[in-house]
Structure 1
Amino acid sequence: MSAIVFPPPASADKQVYVTISALEGGHLTLPERLFVTDADPNVKRTVPSLSFLIQHPSTPPHGGGSNTKIIFDLGIKRDLNKYMPAMQTHIANRQPVITSPDVADSLRAGGLDPAKDIDYVIMSHVHWDHVGTPADFERATFVVGHGTLHLLENGAPPHYPKEIFDPQLLPRDRVWEFRESPIPEVVFGPADEYVGQNAASFQGRVWRELQTAAGETIFPAVIDLFDDGSIYLIDSPGHLFGHMNFLARVGSAKWIYLGGDCCHDARILTGEKGIALYDDGTGTGRLRSVHVDTDVARSTLNRIQTLLPEKKGQGTALRRTSGTIALGGDTPVEIELIVAHDGSWREKNQHRFFPGTI
C-alpha cells in the first residue's frame, strides 16, 4: 500500500485549501460517569453535537457553483419522534435534548439550501446524535465507513441491537460505502456485502498510509478524498463500526482535525481523564465503555495524539488540542483538533460558525 507524507512538502506545485465552518447540530445531556474516569456520579453535562460545512474549490458534481460543499455529520434529528421506538427510549435518558437549530437551520441562516446546495454528506458514524435528518439533503451523496450499511440493517448486539437503527436512514441509490480498510480490527460483517451494489469508493480512491517525513506511520488507513492533499478521511476504529475522522488543509501551515466521537471529552485527549468503564448490564460482571471496542478506541486515540504537541506539567506529559508541531519533518504545521461534543470549544468559537469560518 502506498504512503502519503504529512505534512505535504512545502514545494508542492499545487496547494489546495478548503474552508470549514462549524454548524449547530443540537445538544444532548451526558452523565460524566459513563464517559470519563474519576467523575462525580451525579454530574451531567449538556453538550453540543457539532457538525461542519467544508467547501472545496472544485466544480460541484451537479454544476452550478464554484465550490463542492460537504457536510461532516448531521447532529440530532429536529423531530425526536422520527427515531426508532427503541432509540427513543434511550434518548429519554439523555434529556434535556435540544433539537433547534439543527444543521438544516444553520445552513439556511448562512444562505445555503440543504436540499440544493450540498453535494456530499460524510458521516463519522451512525449513532443517533450524528445522523440528523438525511431527507433534508435531496441531492447529496452520503459517504460512510465500511460496515455502516450492515450495521443499519443488522445492528451489533448485544449493546447495539438492530431495533435502535433505522435501515431506511439513507437513500441507497445515493450512498457510497468505503471498502474494508487494511486495519484488521475494523472487520465487521461480510467484507464486501454492499460494495458493488449501490456503494462505491469516493471517485475510485483507495486506502493509503499517512506518514511523517521520517517514514513513521501516523494513520495506517486514510483516503485522499480529492486526490490533492486537501482532505483526508481517516479510518478511526473503536467507537462504532464505520467510524471515520476528517483532516483538512485550511492554510499553508494550518490543518483542522475533526475527531467525531474518538472521545466525548477533550480532557481525554489532554491526558487529564481516561475512558470510563462501567458494568455492561449482562449480569456477568464484565465492563464496557461507550466504545464498541475500548482497546481499539484507545489505539486510535494514541494515533490522534501523535498530531498534538506535548506540554509538560507537574511531571506528566499532557497534550494540547491545538498547536504547532513538526511531525518529524522540516515543515511545521498547526493542527486544531475538534471533537463532536466539546461544549467549551463551541462557547469560545461562536464567530467560527457558518457563515464564519474556522
Structure 2
Amino acid sequence: MAVAIAVTRERREGETRCAVTPETVKKLIALGAAVTVEAGTGVGSSIPDDDYAAAGASVKPDTKAVLATADILLKVRGPTAQEISALKPGAVVVSMLDAYREKDTVQALAGANATAFAMEFVPRITRAQVMDVLSSQANLAGYRAVIEAAAAYGKGFPMMMTAAGTVAAAKVFVMGAGVAGLQAIATARRLGAVVTATDVRPASKEQVESLGAKFVAVEDEEFKAAETAGGYAKAMSDEYQAKQAELTASHIVKQDVVITTALIPGRPAPRLVTAAHVASMKPGSVLVDLAIDNGGNVEGAKVGEIVTTPNGVQVVGWSNLPGRIAADASALYARNLVAFLGLMVKDGALGVDLEDEILKASVVTHGGAVVHEGVKG
C-alpha cells in the first residue's frame, strides 16, 4: 500500500504559501506516494483545486478526512492543535516549525507521538543544498525587500539623464550579506542603485564586491574569526559592536534606503539600527527590516506596519516577505520538500532512518518526546 501524504491549508495568519504544487504532486506520486490535498490549499499561491486533481492528487474538503489515514503531513508553517489532534499516532510531520519559539506546537507534536521534522534545521551541507528552505525563501525575501523599498521610496532608483536634468541614483545600504542580503544587493544593483553592504563574516566581503557593491565593515582581528563552521555569523563582542555602530552611524546618514537582514539562529535578531540612526536619516528615506519576525534589526519597526517617523523616514516591517511572492515561494519550498522526502520514501514505503545526518539534524520530536537538543530546554 502506497505511503499516504496529506497536505492541509495553511491556517497561520498571513500565510499565503503552500507545501505542494501540481508539479511536486507528480513527483511525490513518482516516489510511490498517494497524495491528498485539502480543498483551498493553493488559493494564496493561485493554484486551483482542479490543478491538484489533474496532477493526480485526491482533493477533499474535510480536514479530518485528509489527515485520518495520513502517514506524512506536509505544511509550510507548523500544524495547529486541531490538526495535530487529528493525526494518527506515529505520523510524520514536515514543516518550518519555528521550533525555538513555537514551544506549544512542539510539545503537542511530542504528545501526539508524531515524528516531526523542522525544515529550518536541515544542515547546510552539500548533500542537503536542494533541501535548504532557509536559502530558497531568503532569496525571495531579499528580492522582495528591494521591491518594497522601491515602492515606498518617493524617487527612482537608477540615475536618469533627461532633457530636464539628471536624476541621481539612490544609495542603498544592505546590512547582512547572507542569502537574503546578497539577493537584495543584486536586485538593487539591477535597478540601478549605488549599493553598499556590511556583514560580520569575512567571507562575505568577496561576495559583496563580486555583485558590484562596496563592502563596509570594521575589519579587525575579531572580524576575521567571526564565522561558525556552519557558515553562520557569530555573536560579536560589545567592543566590536560599538566600533561597528560608530561606522554604521557615519554611513547610514548618507543613505536613501537601508535593508537589514541579520539573523542569529535560536536567538533574537541583533539590533543594527537604533532610533538615533533613524533620526539621522533624510526625510523620505526608507528602511526595510527583514528580521522583523525575529524581533527586528531596526529600533521602532513594527510587525505588519510601515511606520513613518517624525523626521519623515519610513520603516517597513512587513512579515513573511516570501509570502508576498507566494507562487514562487511555494514552488521552491515544495521542491525542497520533495528532495527531503526522498530520504524517507522509497518505492512507496516509508522508512525513517534517524541515523541519516540530515534527518538526525532536523528531527524535533520522536517516540513521544522532544529529541532535538537545541529545543529541549
User: Taking structure 1 as the reference length, what is the TM-score of the superposition?
Assistant: 0.31
Structure with higher helix content: 2
| Greater strand fraction, Structure 1 or Structure 2 | 1
Larger Rg: 2
TM-score by length of 2: 0.30
